[in-house]
Chains A and B, each alone.
Chain A
């Protein structure tokens, strides 16, 4: 294969990777601003308790060795 087509292929793919990088960055910025807008950071004290519920409440140890 002559070097010319390979060169141009790599120029193109470099551009593609650069664009992919931008998409990455953009998605991160979008996710961060979405979480602010949707109130993810409003009350962290309350939200840290979101893993508990009526079936598995706060204050109760949930796992022991079987007898």
Chain B
């Protein structure tokens, strides 16, 4: 979708176009085109990417399912990862970070066509990359599977988009830099360096031996930890106090949390290679950092816990789509991160590595935390941009329950089965064929949970498109009552 059509859709029936705007509404209006563009792109990738996830899951118990070359397991799983990572999470994070940065800087967006141009380039390049993967032209480096020629284009597009958060910051009308701004600025600064070093050392001038693998997981871990996670945390730090109408429990702790996060996260990537042919001191350093991550995570957990509980506002949390999703995400940020710190211990990792346990954890972080927190952000942002209420409360409920049951079910199924797999492999009593056969019921359960999440995503995407559709009935509702 190109920007002018988004603009047209949104300008029609817009009472605020006629003037008398509050300051906040002016800022929101300036943000409309780019944020809506990235949101729609994100929602579309989410649906397509999830469908590839389900296809991959089905292949584990029905191997002959969709038996064509472009959809072999190796390709469909890779397509799933790249679509939900670079298509959904990156686009969603572009939307949320642009909006948050301008809101918090009290600055209107100027030259919104620049990030949109970057976004069009980003998404077209992704489409090219996905076709390359489906055609078998992938690199075999996890998280960097798209052919290497996409890298310079994606890099430039990222700069066009990410720079706008920095520009907003430099034009801020406020003296204080809120903790969410710290997280977003840091993420926008870290990612380009990570991407540049990883591309150079792995794909363009490959380092030799295990250095490649070490670089690969330094990048993969930090793309999550130093880009996706900080923006997710930034979003929770904004929306939880904002929607409740009360400040964060201990702002001091949130500052401690940010700096310890920045200090420890980037050392931890090597925990993906525990037990591998990597210097032991390096593994130990990664384990120490992974355990130290307990500090920022605990700090964040304490803060969110007391902000939500001391207000005794369960009705407000449950009654707000934004908070229902965001608080769900916040709880799972804590849980998945603590689980991650445990998985980084050598004895635990000797069981869980190479099993479904890791995949359970990956979805715990990427879906139950990050994706749910981003959904929460969209439930707040979109009505304010479109100047329309969400068309259907029932669809929000449906979205929540499908995703919540699906994602928790998925994590539980994969964790239990992953642990069993690890024990079975380590004990070496069963044959590999017996172990694979024992996985059958768990694989079915995984398909069911994945399908629930996918249905939830379809509901969300349809709801977003319905809300933005030119003919949608304009409704004023409780989300907009502040105006």
State the A residues within 8 Å of B (CB).
Answer: 6, 9-10, 13, 17, 20, 24, 27-28, 32, 35, 38-41, 44-45, 47-67
Contact = CB atoms under 8 A, between A and B. Distances in A.
Interface in B144-185: 174-178
Interface in B375-393: 379-380, 389-393
Interface in B102-135: 104, 106
Interface string B245-279: 11110011001000100100000000000000000
Given A55-B22, A63-B320, A48 B251 contact: yes
Given A20-B197, A63-B379, A64-B479, A47 B178 contact: yes
A66 B251 CA distance: 31
A24 B263 CA distance: 11
14 contacts: A6-B208, A17-B197, A20-B197, A38-B175, A54-B23, A55-B483, A56-B242, A63-B322, A64-B319, A64-B478, A66-B475, A66-B479, A67-B477, A67-B478
B251 A44 contact: yes
B364 to A, nearest CB: 26
B201 interface: yes
A63 to B, nearest CB: 4
Contact of B247 (A13, A39, A58, A62): A58
Contacts of B24: 53, 55-56
B23 A55 contact: yes
A39 to B, nearest CB: 7
Interface of B: 22-25, 104, 106, 174-178, 189, 193, 197, 200-201, 205, 207-208, 238, 241-248, 251-252, 255, 259, 262, 313, 316, 319-323, 379-380, 389-393, 396, 475, 477-479, 481-483
A48 B478 contact: no
A51 B242 contact: yes
Contact of B177 (A6, A40, A52, A63): A40
Most chain A CB within a 10 A radius of its CB, from B189, B478, B483: B478
B175 A39 contact: yes
A63 B389 CA distance: 11
B245 A60 contact: yes
Q: Is the interface of A mostly helix, strand, loop or mixed?
A: loop
B482 A60 contact: yes
B259 A66 contact: no
A66 B247 contact: no
B22 A65 contact: no
Given A39-B175, A40-B176, A48 B247 contact: yes
Contact of A65 (B176, B201, B393, B483): B393
A42 to B, nearest CB: 9
A65 B207 contact: no
B245 A59 contact: yes
A48 B247 CA distance: 6
A48 B115 CA distance: 30
Contacts of B392: 66
B314 to A, nearest CB: 12
B380 A51 contact: no
Nearest to B207: A10
Contacts of A59: 245-246
Name the 10 nearest CB pairs between A and B, nearest first: A48-B251, A64-B478, A48-B247, A63-B320, A55-B24, A66-B477, A47-B176, A44-B251, A63-B322, A66-B389
Given A20-B197, A47-B176, A63 B207 contact: no
A10 B248 CA distance: 48
A13 B199 CA distance: 13
Contacts of A32: 259
Contacts of B251: 44-45, 47-48
Contacts of B205: 9, 13
A30 to B, nearest CB: 12
Contact of B176 (A24, A50, A57, A66): A50
B241 A61 contact: no
A59 B242 CA distance: 9
